[in-house]
Amino acid sequence: MKQELINLIKRISIKSICGLICTIALCATLYQNSFTPAIDAPSDTLVQLVTALAFGCLGLTSVDNIWSKKNNNDNANTKE
C-alpha cells in the first residue's frame, strides 16, 4: 500500500496540480461572487482565462496519459 501511494505521487504532474488549483480558485471565486454585488465581480475576461487555463491543464494531462499508455503498448508489441 505504501509503495502504491509513492507511485501515485510520482505520477502527478505539474499540469494536473495547476489545473486543480485553477479549478478550486475559480469555484471559490464564483461562489463568493454569488453573494456580492455585481460591481465587485471580477472581469469576465479574467474568469474566462482561468477557466481556459484549468481546462487546458487538465485536458493536456489526460492527453499525455492516453498517449503514454498507447506508446507503452506499442513498445511492448515491438519488443515481442
pLDDT at 26 over 70: yes
For every residue of 20-67, DSSP letters joined together read HHHHHHHHHHHHHHTTS-GGGSPPHHHHHHHHHHHHHHHHHHHHHHHH
Q: CA–CA separation, 57 vs 26, rounded Å?
A: 14
* pLDDT confidence bin for 16, thresholds 50/70/90: confident
* CA 71 to each of CA 41, 60, 66, 68: distance values in angstroms, whole numbers, following the listed order: 45, 16, 9, 5
Domain ranges of the chain: 43-80
* pLDDT confidence bin for 58, thresholds 50/70/90: confident
Q: CA–CA separation, 7 vs 44, rounded Å?
A: 39
**pTM value?**
0.59
